[in-house]
Amino acid sequence: MEDDNRFLSGCGTFLGVSFGLFMLYAGLNYSGFCLAQIRYLSDEDKFRKEFERFNQLDTTFIPERQNNENGGQRYKRIKYESFEQFMESNPDCCTVRPSGIASLWLRITGVHSGEVTVMKYTVYYLDENGERRSRESKRQIILQNCGQRWYILEPSS
């Protein structure tokens, strides 16, 4: 009988500790904590990660019309030299705001950070005559807790 009580007590302790660890994990993920890097990403970290993704693209799509209905064309992109140059050229370009669309499951698993990274910036490209042109681009990106792109809410260039 005493062995049964010790067994049940041990099971209760194991379940209690397991539940506590799960709650800690879920709570950290829900709050946006990056477990792989053992830190919260700063807004600058998020902007830099997205900048590195789009700045490596060789072309940009320019729609014929604002709503993209009639197609468009790809042009050679003029890349920014660095993240610092990008930020200098596009002051007040970037914000992070609550998304309001994440399910509880996506938040506690860290798949959705609960935020949207909004970036408005100038894209430079060479037109069909080799002339330097520019246009405004806007991206709304949902990142995972460690900065991986999960979803793009608006078309990107």
Residue 67 has pLDDT above 70, yes or no: no
Per-residue pLDDT reduced to its tens digit, 118-156: 999 999 999 889 999 999 999 899 999 999 988 777 655
pLDDT at 71: 72
> First vs last Cα of the chain: how many Å apart?
71
List the alpha helices (DSSP H) in the chain.
2-30, 43-55, 83-89, 104-108
Q: What are the counts of helices (DSSP H) followed by strands (DSSP E) for the chain?
A: 4, 6
Report the candidate in 72, 61, 76 with the shortest Cα–Cα distance to residue 154. 61
Residue 92 corresponds to which amino acid? D
- Which H or E run includes 141? strand 132-143
Q: What are phi and psi of 127, to 5 degrees?
A: -75, -175
Q: What six digits make up the tokens of 1? A: 């009988």
Which of these, 88, 99, 73, lies nearest to 157 by C-alpha position? 73
Mean pLDDT of 54-67: 79
Output the pLDDT for position 70.
Answer: 59
Q: Are 138 and 119 in contact (CB under 8 A)?
A: yes
Tell me what pLDDT residue 15 has.
75
SS3 45: helix
Q: What is the pLDDT confidence band of residue 114, given thresholds at 50, 70 and 90?
A: confident
Structure confidence at residue 81 (pLDDT): 96
In terms of pLDDT, which residue wins out, 34 or 153? 34
State pLDDT tens for residues 16-33.
778 888 888 888 888 989
pLDDT at 4: 58
Q: Output the six-digit token pair for 129.
A: 């005559």
**What digits encode the pLDDT tens for the residues 73-103?**
889 999 999 999 999 999 999 999 998 778 8
